[in-house]
Chains A and B, each alone.
Chain A
């Protein structure tokens, strides 16, 4: 136990050390977080009326962001599977980073759900025994369970591995391996349950299609890894960590397959709706063509479709996949494409037209946007701090010292442009 405390203390010591860039970045995130908190306080004070949600469209930007982020969190397993199951070396080193992405993404998810609640003060009603968790009836209760399990699981695995490396031991695979194996179905479950949350509502034909859960997974395997490829490149440029191109190209190839499945499922869905031409076509028409003069989402969804298609071809062709410029363009396009498709493009048409045929066109207010920015900034901050600890540990720059108690901190800077001679004044510590 004492060793755990020493590790935690060492981590806090480490978090305070860093380059000017590190401090600037963290401060910038903190500013965004403060803005978000002020906007949220305003929402608490006036009620959810400061959002654009109304009785017709009861979920909006917050839940859209939530849905998308669950996908990002689930995609962490895409890195875990090859790394541990196939013992594929280049990815193994970065799988731990994938787990940290998952942890940060789940934090974002939970925050988005919380700010969407009308009564966050009654949050404890969800805690089993103290309150009443309507499990297994309510899919939202399932989501609470699987998201928290997934959070604890990834935090536990990554934390234990880093802890072991800190004490310069190999982690005991007897414990880690079963947990890692378990994290694979757990990752699938968080996204499946989130899909079922929508899927189970017969009142909303747009969501009440069995293809929803497979589509969720397929698109998650696009956006999550695409974001991760971008992140890896930033990480290897600005920190002291090596990530091989081979790993990145492999991930890009997997993305291409996932995108193919995603597009195929989308096509199947569109065929069924348009060919059978029932009254359930209305939300699809609203999304892709506009209906009765209501067309707020049309330009968004076509942007997303074009982005996704372009990215698909960029990832499919080996030449563009293994060219850093086109690869990065593809990643950005795909990330944005899926963000639109799995966010607003999924949630809003469920409500437009509403169950009695009323049209209320939703677009988020500034409060919703500021609060959401604050939440994203919180996620990035969590990720930055976790990386601040993980990167030096993996580089053997942060481990227990000679005496076995005091930490040895070899990496004073963290965020710094590589292969530049470090000036003494660059080190900043209050």
Chain B
């Protein structure tokens, strides 16, 4: 198991010199950012919760982040704070009879949303389920690895954040670092999260991921088109999750989420639940849809269906 190896390696690395170096740096980090006299460290340390910032404060912060990321990734990076589009409430449809389990969505998402490549963080997990058992999560397999998909006797169910209407994850956060926006997208303020991981314990869909170490994001792979609450690079020690690609979907010339675009069999549908003409409304009205763990009353806006 690679996790095990990684763990052992770290234990092994706790040699005295490393530990002392860690001590010095750790104390430096604990003694507040004094060692780095640059003003921006203090600015980010004292930064308020994103929802409490006024317009001009936001502009300052976005500019600071753009500067920081552009320097770090050696290319011009944009950090937007595009607000929700009025009259939009997003919903997602997933056609289980089409999904072939190729995991293109998983990697499409990683590329679009600047997830850590080392260690790997995946916002989408594709579960392989036995046709005989149906949707039985306990017997699902996430780590299937055959030469070709789909496999005989199985079907596949991708799971990502269900953007619950009644999200248990935001309720438990002790510092309100995560909340549901009016377009239904549940977001995290990566500069406010204290990393207690209570929300991860509360989420029934395993949709939240933690930066156990500083994310490894090579400059060449970095997507420079970012949103403050979405796919901008994350710091160590905070939680992150799917945002329905808000850096794409919230724009005027809105694009589909990356996973919708990349799916080779068109199993993924996305749209505005409040627009009667939208694709997602069509799915809900004409197919038999179901939601995951309905009994928990999380009211997901992520609808699974079988088109055939």
Contacts and interface: CB of A to CB of B under 8 A. Distances in A.
Interface stretch (A116-124, A330-338, A401-409, A414-422): A116-124
Given A42-B14, A140-B196, A356-B142, A121 B29 contact: yes
Interface stretch (B206-214, B225-233, B281-289): B206-214
Interface residues of B, number: 67
B175 A55 contact: no
B212 A49 contact: yes
Nearest to B127: A356
Interface stretch (B60-68, B83-91, B101-109, B132-140): B132-140
A123 to B, nearest CB: 7
Interface in B173-211: 173-177, 192-198, 200-206, 208-211
Nearest to B204: A203
Interface stretch (A9-17, A129-137, A246-254, A305-313): A129-137
Nearest to A141: B174
Interface string A88-124: 0000000000000000000000000100111111110
Contacts of B30: 41, 44, 120-121
Contacts, number: 196
Interface string A28-71: 00000000011111111111111111111011000000000000
Given A122-B192, A123-B194, A350-B201, A47 B125 contact: no
Nearest to A360: B3
A279 B135 CA distance: 13
Contacts of A19: none
A262 interface: no
A366 interface: yes
B23 A38 contact: yes
A223 to B, nearest CB: 24
B3 A54 contact: yes
Contacts of A243: none
B219 interface: no
Interface of A: 37-56, 58-59, 113, 116-123, 125-126, 131-134, 137-141, 144, 197, 200-204, 279, 282, 350-351, 353-358, 360, 365-367
24 contacts: A37-B23, A42-B22, A47-B214, A47-B237, A50-B11, A58-B201, A59-B197, A59-B201, A116-B197, A119-B194, A125-B175, A125-B177, A126-B175, A132-B175, A138-B173, A202-B204, A202-B297, A203-B168, A203-B202, A282-B138, A353-B138, A355-B137, A357-B139, A365-B11
| A-B interface, 3 closest residue pairs, ranked by CB to CB distance from nearest | A118-B195, A41-B26, A118-B237
